[in-house]
Amino acid sequence: MNVQALEYKAAELRLHILRTALKAGKGHVPPAFSWVEIGVALFYGGHLHVRPHDPTWEDRDRFILSKGHGCLTLYAILADLGFFSKTELDNFCAPGSLLAGHPDTHIPGVEGISGSLGHGLGVSAGLALGAKLHSCPWKVVTVMGDGECQEGSVWEAAMFASHHQLHNLVAIIDRNGLGATSYTENNVALEPFVSKWEAFGWDVVYINGHSLEELSKVLQSIGQRTSLKPLMIVAQTVKGKGVSFMEGSVDWHHRIPNGEKVQEAIRQLTDASSSSGSAVTMEMAHGL
Q: Is the pLDDT of residue 277 over 90?
A: no
Any idea what the CATH number is for the domain that residue 36 is in? 3.40.50.970
pLDDT at 273: 74
DSSP helix/strand/coil, 169? strand
pTM as predicted:
0.94
Which residues touch 48 (CB under 8 Å, ≥6 apart)?
42, 61, 63, 141
Number of domains in the chain: 1
What average pLDDT does range 17-28 have in this prediction? Answer: 96
pLDDT at 285: 47
Domain ranges, residue 250: 3-285
Q: Compute the mean pLDDT over every residue in the chain, rounded to the nearest whole number.
A: 94
pLDDT at 120: 98
pLDDT at 283: 46
**What is the percentage of the chain residues whose pLDDT exceeds 90?**
93
The model's pLDDT over 212-265, given as tens digits with 9 standing for 90+, comes to 999 999 999 999 999 999 999 999 999 999 999 999 999 999 999 999 999 999
The model's pLDDT over 96-132, given as tens digits with 9 standing for 90+, comes to 999 999 999 999 999 999 989 999 999 999 999 999 9
pLDDT at 271: 86
pLDDT at 126: 98
Which residues touch 174 (CB under 8 Å, ≥6 apart)?
31, 34, 35, 38, 67, 70, 143, 144, 145, 146, 209, 235, 237
- 171 vs 12, 96, 186, 203, 228, CA distance in Å? 25, 32, 24, 10, 14
Identify residue 61 by its one-letter amino acid code.
D
- What are the E-state strand segments in the chain? 62-65, 140-145, 169-175, 203-208, 231-236
Q: Is the pLDDT of residue 282 over 80?
A: no
Which runs of consecutive H residues, i.e. helices, occur in 35-150?
Answer: 36-44, 71-81, 120-133
The span from the CA of 198 to the CA of 200, in Å, is 5
